[in-house]
């Protein structure tokens, strides 16, 4: 089977990085742009270590009419539904739609409005940031997990992904992978946003470290209720290991707050609280953080 052609929505750091890596791996890519009259190629400067590469990425306007067979959505969680709406006229029941956003629950409007849509999900810890609008730095290699709840075997389009990204694998249990990432984000992101600190402070500051432990206990109770006992058991350890390996990072939520952008709190802690409420589990610490992040005005 020939490589799929990916249309990419959300030309931020991760969207551009994945577009570049897929193209370098031989897949066809087109960036979808929302600005009017943009139907040409975009020049991208990609840096990694000492290396700099210039790439031409074909671009197309969302409003164009040509059908999209494979759509990769790399927007913020709160933009996913509107982004897919903007190209829904180009999708059909054979289109494969891969959503790569933080958190959970952002797909609900899509499930309701487009019950025919074939939705796939992904999480990534690839590190990339934007130096200028079309200039990105691939700062650190991470893990990318792709999958679809209920689909154990890789989708036919998956073959080009491990060629594009060094550590990319198909998740036989994607729901669990999304929960694992959600649990980590719940334990790290709101605290770092409220205390305006790098991830490593959550280990070095004893008061914050104690808060992380207490949060993990609540999050683990919700994971257990949702059926992910294995995640619950290893959560404290996993969160500590992520805090250590990303000690110098500013979490995505802290970056959002610092840049006066909306945060993804509704899809991270908000999703956890909704599941906790359904199961009648008390989560006072997570509730306080939810309110605290909302009070930051984003
Ligand atoms: O959202 C983030 O920033 C990241 O998922 C993580 C793992 C918390 C590291 O900063």
pLDDT (tens digit per residue) in 141-166:
889 999 999 999 999 999 999 999 99
pLDDT at 242 over 60: yes
- Taking CA atoms only, the protein residue closest to ligand 1 atom 5 is 185
* Residues 125, 220 share a domain: no
* Residues 288, 272 share a domain: yes
* Residues 223, 277 share a domain: yes
Of 283, 200, 294, 209, the closest CA to residue 243 belongs to: 200
pLDDT at 80 over 80: yes
Is position 294 annotated as part of the catalytic site?
no
C-alpha distances (whole Å) from 185 to each of 67, 120, 164, 218 are: 35, 20, 26, 14
Domain limits for position 227: 176-295
184 lines ligand 1 (CB under 6 A): yes
- Taking CA atoms only, the protein residue closest to ligand 1 atom 10 is 251
* Residues 167, 182 share a domain: no
Number of domains, the chain: 2
Residue 4: burial class (beta carbons within 10 Å; 0-12, 13-18, 19+): buried
CATH number for position 136: 3.40.50.720
DSSP reduced 3-state for 295:
helix
* Residues 123, 40 share a domain: yes
Mean pLDDT, to the nearest integer, of 276-287?
98
pLDDT at 38 over 70: no
251 lines ligand 1 (CB under 6 A): yes
Summary mean pLDDT of the chain? 94
pLDDT category, 127, cuts 50, 70, 90? Answer: confident
* Residues 180, 81 share a domain: no
CATH number for position 247: 1.10.1040.10
**Which ligand 1 atom is nearest residue 185's CA?**
8
Of 212, 213, 227, the closest CA to residue 275 belongs to: 227
Q: Count of CB atoms within 10 A of residue 101's CB? A: 23
* Residues 234, 210 share a domain: yes
* Residues 185, 142 share a domain: no
- Taking CA atoms only, the protein residue closest to ligand 1 atom 3 is 251
What is this structure's pTM? 0.94
* Residues 17, 165 share a domain: yes
């Amino acid at each position: 089977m020939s490589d799929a052609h990916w249309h990419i929505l959300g030309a931020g750091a991760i969207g551009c990085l994945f577009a570049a890596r897929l193209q370098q791996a031989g897949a066809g890519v087109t960036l979808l742009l929302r600005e009017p009259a943009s139907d040409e190629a975009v020049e991208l400067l990609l840096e990694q270590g000492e290396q700099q590469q210039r790439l031409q990425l074909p671009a197309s306007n969302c409003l164009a009419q040509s059908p999209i067979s494979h759509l990769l959505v790399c927007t913020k969680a709160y933009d996913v539904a509107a982004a897919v709406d903007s190209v829904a006229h180009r999708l059909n029941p054979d289109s494969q739609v891969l959503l790569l956003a933080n958190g959970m629950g952002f797909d609900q409007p899509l499930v309701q409005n487009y019950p025919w849509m074939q939705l796939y999900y992904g999480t990534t810890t690839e590190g990339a940031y934007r130096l200028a609008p079309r200039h990105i730095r691939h700062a650190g290699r991470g893990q990318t997990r792709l999958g679809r709840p209920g689909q154990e075997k890789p989708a036919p389009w998956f073959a080009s992904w491990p060629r594009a990204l060094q550590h990319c694998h198909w998740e036989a249990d994607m729901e669990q992978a999304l929960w694992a990432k959600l649990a980590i984000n719940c334990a790290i992101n709101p605290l770092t946003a409220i205390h305006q600190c790098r991830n490593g402070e959550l280990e070095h500051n004893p008061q914050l470290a104690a808060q992380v432990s207490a949060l993990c206990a609540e999050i683990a109770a919700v994971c257990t209720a949702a059926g992910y006992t294995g995640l619950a058991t290893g959560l404290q350890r996993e969160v500590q290991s992520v805090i250590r390996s990303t000690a110098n990072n500013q979490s995505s939520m802290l970056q959002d707050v610092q840049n006066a952008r909306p945060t993804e709190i509704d899809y991270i802690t908000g999703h956890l609280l909704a599941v906790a409420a359904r199961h009648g589990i008390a989560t006072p610490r997570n509730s306080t953080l939810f309110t605290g992040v909302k009070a930051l005005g984003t």
